[in-house]
Structure 1
Amino acid sequence: MRVPIFQIDAFTDRLFAGNPAAVMVLPSYLDDAVLQAIAAENNLAETAFLVPQSGQYHLRWFTPAVEVPLCGHATLASAAVVMERLEPGRNSVVFNTASGPLAIHRKQNGYVMDFPSRPSEKTSTPSGLAEALGAVPIEVFSSPFNYLVLLEDARSVRTLAPDFRAIADLDRPGVIVTAAGDERYDFVSRYFAPAKGVPEDPVTGAAHCMLAPYWAAKTGKSAFRAYQASRRGGEVVCLISGGRVELEGSCVFYLEGHAEI
């Protein structure tokens, strides 16, 4: 079977920045083991599998190691594929996913995604977390998905050099570190998920579903310009809206072709 494949840099307006995602358009879903093998072969943080059906689209996301319930950058990339390649001129799309319907609409310089909020609760610092990060948390919040760790300042986030093996042994799939922003940003962050096969994710939409409500509660604001300070780096505009989180970003096509499966 020969299927279209795209590689897109998401949450950026230039090549070789943001978070690269593969998007593959399938006539129907293959066995999970085959989808996982394809994602491992692509060897990107996420591969999105897009299945058109009766004018709608179904969407699933796989890291090189596991399927995940929510992915922001690969959803952004999938929206670009639909609206710029499969149905040029279309201005909105709704993806049916494991996290429910996700609506995306086009803006002049990018796309806005309507995502579920992921609120968190303050917790004591888990055993081994500070050692794994190589930094002392100011405070720690948790959800079923991640720990969220506040550090002293943006420089501490930017220069952090964690022990990925130790992070993988924690009892959450991922760890977000964050601090008040520098330059023109309201906050900065990084995201580590070695247990999911992604030691550091370059720019993580799903992490901002937890970051935005955290910073909203902390500052009383509802809109943020955020920067994920990985080596590639990327910008995410966040808005708390009706108990959900709107994430805005741009993306750039890098590769277009076909895969033989």
Structure 2
Amino acid sequence: MKIYQIDAFTKEVFSGNPAAVCPLEEWISSSIMQKIAAENNLAETAFYVKNGDMYEIRWFTPTVEVDLCGHATLAAAYVLFNFENHTDNLIQFYSERSGNLTVTKEGDLLSLNFPADEFEAIPLTPQITEGLNIKPIQAFKGKTDYMFLFEKEEEILNLTPNFEQLSKLAARGIIVTAKGETSDFVSRFFGPRSGINEDPVTGSAHTTLIPFWANELNKTKLSAIQLSERKGYLDCELLRDRVRISGYAICYMMGTIFTAKEKPL
């Protein structure tokens, strides 16, 4: 089967967030998809199958299938627009876990339309904060992630988490965020429980970040930077109960996967 590796939320290779994308003619077993994702050893591998006018999509980390992944959806759309003969400027994805997801293309800019997360403030207990080297000023719990608010961008940059402690939290991952110095907000994302200690750029985390910061800053259009080593840049917008997450992507690699029963020519 075909495989592409796309750097998402960047205009340059070796930055942004790398995702593998595997176009399928029909679904293969979940166990094989999980093995492929583990072999790729990237934060996410996306698989999709065309179904009428839309594409069914699933996402796997090296260890688990996840409910939603932004950067791998952006990567899948980039593959469809550039290599897999999708001619319209709109792609309709469907996930059994997250519903309808769309990606639109304006020039080279790709925009995800995702449901906004539902989250609530929770107490700052030692159990949920002991994996961080700086105590946050507030904590929240969304559908799949914890989110911790800090006072300054510098604190986000200087975080050195204890991943063993963070992996004990019953959540897909941990978002840390603060108001930005050159952007509206900054963030990082840690997912040791999902098989990736730090994700370079996490589109799905912005389904929580966008409604939070839109309310905090009293504006619906926002700029964001994810402060991983590779860094990612996102344009964001709150659309009532949904969010728009926009960015660029670039192809790093394309190739062919041979399973155990197949041999290269």
TM-score between the two structures when normalised by the length of structure 1: 0.96
Residues in 2 aligned to 1:35 and 1:89: alpha-carbon distance in whole angstroms: 27
Question: What amino acid sits opposite 2:149 in the alignment?
Answer: L
| Deviation at residue 30 of structure 1 after TM alignment | 1.2
1 CA distance for matches of 2:56 and 2:114?
Answer: 16
Query: Tell me, what secondary structure is at the counterpart of 1:86?
Result: coil
* 1:41 and 2:36 aligned: no
User: What secondary structure is seen at the aligned counterpart in 1 of 2:151?
Assistant: coil
CA contact (8 A) 2:10 2:250 kept: yes
- What residue in structure 2 maps to residue 216 of structure 1? 214
Match of 2:108 in 1: 109
Asked whether the equivalents of residues 112 and 244 of structure 2 are also in contact (C-alpha less than 8 Å), the reply is: yes
Equivalent in the alignment of 2:24? 26
Distance in 2 (alpha carbons) for counterparts of 1:118 and 1:242: 11
Q: Any conservation in 1 of the 2:53–2:92 contact (CA below 8 Å)?
A: no
**Equivalence for 1:225:** 223
Tell me, yes or no, if the aligned pair for 1:119 and 1:214 is still in contact at 8 Å.
no
Deviations 1:67-86 (A, max 9, x none): 00100000000001111111
Q: Is the 8 A contact 2:121 2:141 kept in 1?
A: yes
Q: State the Cα distance separating 1:88 from its structure 2 match.
A: 5.2
Tell me the equivalent position of 1:150: 149
**Structure 2 gap segments, 5+ residues each:** 260-265
Gaps of 5+ in 1: none
Q: Does the CA contact (< 8 Å) of 1:194 and 1:200 recur in 2? A: yes
In 2, Cα distance between equivalents of 1:148 and 1:31: 33
1:169 and 2:168 aligned: yes
Query: What does 1:225-244 correspond to in 2, within 5 Å?
Result: 225-244=223-242
8 Å CA contact 2:148–2:176 kept in 1: the answer is yes
Amino acid at match of 1:51: V
SS of residue matched to 2:126: coil
> What per-residue deviation string (whole Å, max 9, x for no partner) do you get for residues 29-49 of structure 1?
111111101100010000000
The residue type paired with residue 201 of structure 2 is V
Say if 2:54 is the partner of 1:73: no
Does residue 182 of the first structure (1) align with residue 167 of the second (2)?
no
Percent pairwise identity: 41
Checking the alignment, whether the CA contact within 8 Å between 2:117 and 2:143 is kept in structure 1 is: no
Deviations 1:189-215, CA, capped at 9 Å, x for gaps: 000010000110000001000000111
**2: CA distance between counterparts of 1:244 and 1:54?**
25
Moved segments of 4+, more than 4 Å: none
Alpha-carbon distance in structure 1 between the residues aligned to 2:5 and 2:248: 14
The question of whether the paired residues in 2 share the 8 Å contact of 1:83 and 1:92 is answered with: no
